[in-house]
Copies of this chain bind each other. A is one copy, B any other.
Amino acid sequence: MSEFLDLTLPSDALNLILEKISFIPEEETIPTSMALGRVTSRDVFAPHRMPSFSRSAMDGFAVQAKDTFGASETAPAYLPVVGEVPMGANVDFTVESGECALIHTGGMLPSGADAVVMMEYTQMVKDEEVEIYRAAAVGEHIVHAGEDFEAGQVAIAAGVVLRPVEIGGLMAFGITSVQVTRRLRVGILSSGDEVVPPDRDIKPGQVRDINSYSLAALVQQAGADASLLGIIPDKEDALFEAVNAAVEKFDLVLITAGSSASTRDLTARVIDRLGPPGVLVHGINVRPGKPTIFGICQGKPVVGLPGQPLSAMIIGWLLVNPILKKMRGISQAAIKPTVKARMSANVPSMAGREDWIPVLLSEDESGYIAQPIFFKSNLIFNLARANGLVSIPADQTGLHAGEIVEAYLYQ
């Protein structure tokens, strides 16, 4: 079984894979209102100052701060009101020394004024005069023009996944279309003589195709488009033709082979025939997911995933997700969605191999508890019972009940 001669750890395999992928995503221009979850393909520059004018952050009176110096409840300042700032329009008056103007939150600061006194520290005493009970500092309750951005600054860097807040920020600048990396096209091939389409009744010895659909959903969840290319017979020439056509058409090809060693060898032979460089990783030192293959054919990355449905999902999460992230052009560092949790039971593991254990996370007054799910890698519902994943590093021989671990949220 040559395939398992030099097994690498998942992190080493991933580093090698990410280094070998030279894909540069193309860009396209799309409406900003449709850009949620898309990735900026270049820096977005502020087309003008933000805010474009100095505004009040409160309802109150615009003043010259020095006119309020020493003002208090016992010794208020009295200022005549020279106008009311209209919302959404230019201010056509000036606040001179010794004057003030009624202003609303978001209203444009009149020229002359350099501070706003909040409404609650004022009282109208006559029709056109206001008592001020508190001194204002220069700049108080003012959002200054250019305080968020000056024109020409980078507002959003390249390689950023657009969240609701960035969509809003782009709209604030009037940027109603944005350059993003185009959606990746991922082709998914299935093989295995025992595998039949899910809409088919199964005969004894047959199983339905799970992996094509669960992997397509994983690809979709990662913001890429998946195309199902069908179930290919376990014949080298048929698989060669299918993968050859797929690498021509798609940015990334996933092959989910049958579960036996012979079909895995078939996948490796086909990737090698379609190289160079062909197979780069053959077998990973991880459970579940050992029989994973990675190669590059005609410049396109090809991943041969384990046939066992649960293994395919874990490898999808561990390797395919980071591959998609790189190929989508995401360059920002992300915070790992993990929680610290206390193991509720011992989990043995073999030294020298990295294990990933599905866990059911729950919370009590002491924090999170991780209940390990003792799985078989062919039973996909074992993973459906989990909402977290915990790793046992290769240099450990298991986890102890009560041990605090870092659990990844599994979605």
Contacts and interface: CB of A to CB of B under 8 A. Distances in A.
Interface of A: 32-33, 36-37, 50-53, 55, 57, 59, 85-91, 104-108, 119, 143, 147-149, 155-156, 163-169, 171-176, 192-196, 198-211, 213-218, 220-221, 234, 258-262, 307-309, 313, 316, 333-340, 361-363, 368, 376-384, 387-388, 409-411
A164 B313 contact: yes
Nearest to A59: B261
B176 A199 contact: yes
Contacts of A309: 168, 172
A208, A221, A333, most chain B CB atoms within 10 A: A208
B381 A50 contact: yes
A91 to B, nearest CB: 7
A310 to B, nearest CB: 8
24 contacts: A36-B217, A37-B221, A52-B202, A52-B207, A86-B193, A87-B192, A88-B193, A88-B195, A89-B203, A90-B203, A104-B259, A105-B261, A148-B382, A156-B384, A163-B217, A168-B380, A171-B198, A171-B208, A171-B209, A176-B199, A335-B363, A335-B387, A335-B388, A335-B409
A149 B379 CA distance: 10
A165 B316 CA distance: 11
A259 B59 CA distance: 9
Contacts of A410: 163
A322 B334 CA distance: 24
Nearest to A378: B143
- Interchain residue pairs A-B with the least CB separation, the first 9: A168-B214, A88-B194, A104-B260, A164-B217, A171-B198, A106-B259, A90-B204, A105-B259, A164-B218
Contacts of A91: 204-205
B148 A176 contact: no
Nearest to A234: B87
Contacts of A337: 337, 409
Contacts of A119: 261
Nearest to A175: B198
